[in-house]
Amino acid sequence: MTTTTTAAAAQANVTVATIRTWCRRGVIAATKRAGRWIIDTASLAHRITIGAIKRRRTHMDQAPAANTMASKGDTYVGRWPNAITSRIGISFEYIPEAMQRLGMLDNDAATRYRLVRKFYSEEPANEIAALTPEQAMQIVAALKTIQAEIRAAARTHCYCCGLPLNRYDECDGCGDQ
C-alpha cells in the first residue's frame, strides 16, 4: 500500500517538508515517480510508532525534573523573587505575605524575615525551590492582588497626612496630591 506526502504528513502529524526529508534520507521507504514521492504505508506507520516511543521516553525522563522550581537550578531559584516582582511592579518583600495568604507559609515572623534576607542576597530559599510551577503562578496572582490592594489604599488616602482624599484626588488637609 502506498500514500502521498500530503496524506503521510497528516497521518504522522508533521509537515510535508518533514515527510520529504524522511524520504530523501531513507527514514521511510519511498520512491520518486514523476517528481512525486510514493510512500510505503507500513514504513510510515513504523516511523510514527518509533516517534511516539521516543516522545514518551523523553516526556517520562523530563517529568520528574520539571516538578519543582529547584529543577531549574539555584541561580533561577535565587533570582526568581526579584525577577518576578520587578515584572509585576511590587517589592519582593511581599512574597512571604502572598505565600502566607495561600497557606504555603506559617505565621512565623522569623521565617518571613529569613526569606526576605535570602531574596536580598539572591540566595536560593528552600521554600521557593520546593514550589511547583502551579504554586508559583498562585503566588504571582496573590502578589497582583496585594499590589491592587496597595494601589486602592494609596488612591483613597493622602501620602503625607493619611486623611481621605476628596473627589479630585486631593487632600483637603494639607493640599498635597
Mean pLDDT, contiguous 10-residue spans, the chain (177 residues): 88 90 90 90 87 66 61 84 86 89 86 87 87 88 88 72 79 71
pLDDT at 73: 82
pLDDT at 138: 92
Pairwise CA distance, residues 124 & 135, whole Å:
17
Q: What share of the chain is helix, strand, coil (3-state, %, to 5)?
A: 65, 5, 30
For 82, 151, 173, the CA distances from 169, given in Å and listed in that order, are 32, 13, 12
Nearest CA to 104 out of 94, 96, 92 is that of 96
Q: Where are the domains of the chain?
A: 2-63, 72-156
For 34, 46, 124, the CA distances from 81, given in Å and listed in that order, are 61, 47, 10
Pairwise CA distance, residues 27 & 18, whole Å:
11
At which residue does the C-alpha cell 521516543 appear? 54
Burial 102-113 (b: 16+ CB within 10 A, else e): eebbeeeeebbe
Residue type for 53, please?
I
3-state SS track over 105-172: CCCCHHHHHHHHHHHHHCCCCHHHHCCCHHHHHHHHHHHHHHHHHHHHHHHHECCCCCCECCCCCCCC
Which three cell numbers mark 63?
517529568
Output the pTM of the full model.
Answer: 0.52
